[in-house]
Amino acid sequence: MRTAAHPRPADPLLDALRAIVGPAHAVPGEDAPGALVDILQRHTGRARAVVRPANAEEVATVVRLLAAERVPIVPQGGHTGLAGGGTPDASGTAVVLSLSRLDRIREIDLDNDTVTVEAGAILDTVREAAHAKGRWFPLSLPSGGSCTIGGNLATNAGGTQVVRFGNTRALTLGIEVVTAEGEIWNGLRGLRKDNAGYDLRDLYIGSEGTLGIVTAATIKLFPLPAAQQTALLKVSGIATVIALLRHARRGFGAALTGFEIVSAATWRLVAAKAPEYRLPFAPEDGDDLWYVLIEIADEESEAHGRERLEAVIGAALEAELADDAVVAESLAQREAFWAVREHGLGEAQKRDGWNAKHDVSLPISRIPDFVADTGAALRREFPGVRVFVHGHAGDGNLHYHVARPEGTGPDYWDAHERPLRALVHRAVTARGGSICAEHGVGQLKVHALPDSKPPLELALMRRIKAALDPNGLLNPGKVLAP
């Protein structure tokens, strides 16, 4: 702690930032420790300052100041990102630019079925505001109570309803961006068709704060469904899970909004480490046993949705695509199913100790051989490791987590993390998959990216970065290695 005898040296940059945003909204980095470490406590950095502008104009003024001083900028939303993208590096030279005060819902246009919202608005708050107007905002993440719309756009977030609505990019019609030079580009068009030139919107979406700073977005809304129905199924064999997905797509059509899977090993871990989550099926032994959460949204009525769910699931049981099934009888039961999926799995793994998380996607047809071969290779090369898989199987997205062998300490990872990750990444790339399905590259995968993409693709990305951020000040060291 500093004492009056050792006052903090004055920083003229901090004074200049305070002149733009007000004294309370720009602080030295060390006074905002939460901004310097990621949610998984895997990446810790330092910052010269943390600044919280109130609107797009202030963001632009801050960016112009920092650009003139050649100060790196790390945009930050809810700081729930899982790839370390919003955490500054250890140099202490960067300024963290928090969008948290840009949290207004500017407009809900019921005829156009859109919401225009500022970047710092919390995802679940926007969902609730749309709901209050009789509209469905279908982006849904377990982190929805903390993550922001700007962060969702910057990471092109996925979540649990992609199977029907696509990821954030598919939902976004327009954006407002502050460029690396501090100009405000108002691309807030609520258009479903716009082929007037290059698609700048889609370039900024998913760029993780390395090309520009998102300050607002116009996003599609949908009619609220009459009813949502949820079921949990027990399925033997990952190949059968994929056959069940085909069956569900055919049976439910556009009504299918969720198809989530959890491996039996993960299920058993929840029972052992997080028993407060009540599991609808008792844990069982088995390496290739899966639990599948299916959700549908019916446009007609509760009774119609229920009938439809029971018919399609009944047919699945008859065709031996599932061993057992339970249908949620009430909202409380539905929420309990989702609580296991959204919170129980993470909680159990947290209590088990840090594990090597991989957020990968594959062509759905390649999921069975990826799961079988990668599990076998890991057990061969790294005896005793425990593999915990869950994910958005309807989108080909697996969260493939590898825990150290029982009885080893965290130092197990010193020698094993790098080769173990390389094995998983090779298995994904060899099958035409992606090593960054929905959480982004951030700093976590920045060095792995070159092995998973053709050199020309990386070169094109670098050209885009050089064109839009010529001084390399926007989130340096993220997505592309310096």
Instruction: Between 399 and 416, name the residue whose CB sits nearer to ligand FAD.
Output: 399
Token pair 């007609």 is found at 300
- Smallest distance, ligand FAD to C-beta of residue 81, A: 3
- Smallest distance, ligand FAD to C-beta of residue 183, A: 15
**Environment class of 254 (CB within 10 Å of its CB; exposed 0-12, middle 13-18, buried 19+):** exposed
Instruction: Between 341 and 416, name the residue whose CB sits nearer to ligand FAD.
Output: 341
Instruction: Between 401 and 416, name the residue whose CB sits nearer to ligand FAD.
Output: 401
- Smallest distance, ligand FAD to C-beta of residue 390, A: 10
Instruction: Between 397 and 452, name the residue whose CB sits nearer to ligand FAD.
Output: 397
Residue 308 CB-half CA count within 13 A: 25
Task: Point out which residues bind ligand FAD (CB under 6 A).
Answer: 39, 74-82, 85-86, 99, 119, 141-143, 147-148, 150-152, 154-155, 157-159, 208-209, 213-214, 346, 438-439, 442, 475, 478
Q: Which residue is nearest to ligand FAD (CB)?
A: 151
- Smallest distance, ligand FAD to C-beta of residue 355, A: 14
- Smallest distance, ligand FAD to C-beta of residue 221, A: 19
Question: Token digits for 133?
Answer: 């107007």
- Give dist(CA 53, CA 179) in Å, integer: 15
Instruction: Between 141 and 255, name the residue whose CB sits nearer to ligand FAD.
Output: 141
- Smallest distance, ligand FAD to C-beta of residue 169, A: 11
Crossing angle (nearest 10°) for helices 367-381 and 412-430: 150
Token pair 């007000």 is found at 22
- Give dist(CA 410, CA 202) in Å, integer: 40
Closest CA to 220 of 305, 143, 135: 135
Instruction: Between 41 and 330, name the residue whose CB sits nearer to ligand FAD.
Output: 41
77, 151 Cβ separation under 8 angstroms: yes
- Smallest distance, ligand FAD to C-beta of residue 438, A: 4
- Dihedral (Cα; 326, 330, 333, 339), 10-degree rounding: 120
- Smallest distance, ligand FAD to C-beta of residue 378, A: 24
Instruction: Between 225 and 346, name the residue whose CB sits nearer to ligand FAD.
Output: 346
262, 290 Cβ separation under 8 angstroms: yes
Instruction: Between 127 and 247, name the residue whose CB sits nearer to ligand FAD.
Output: 127
Closest CA to 235 of 194, 161, 290: 290
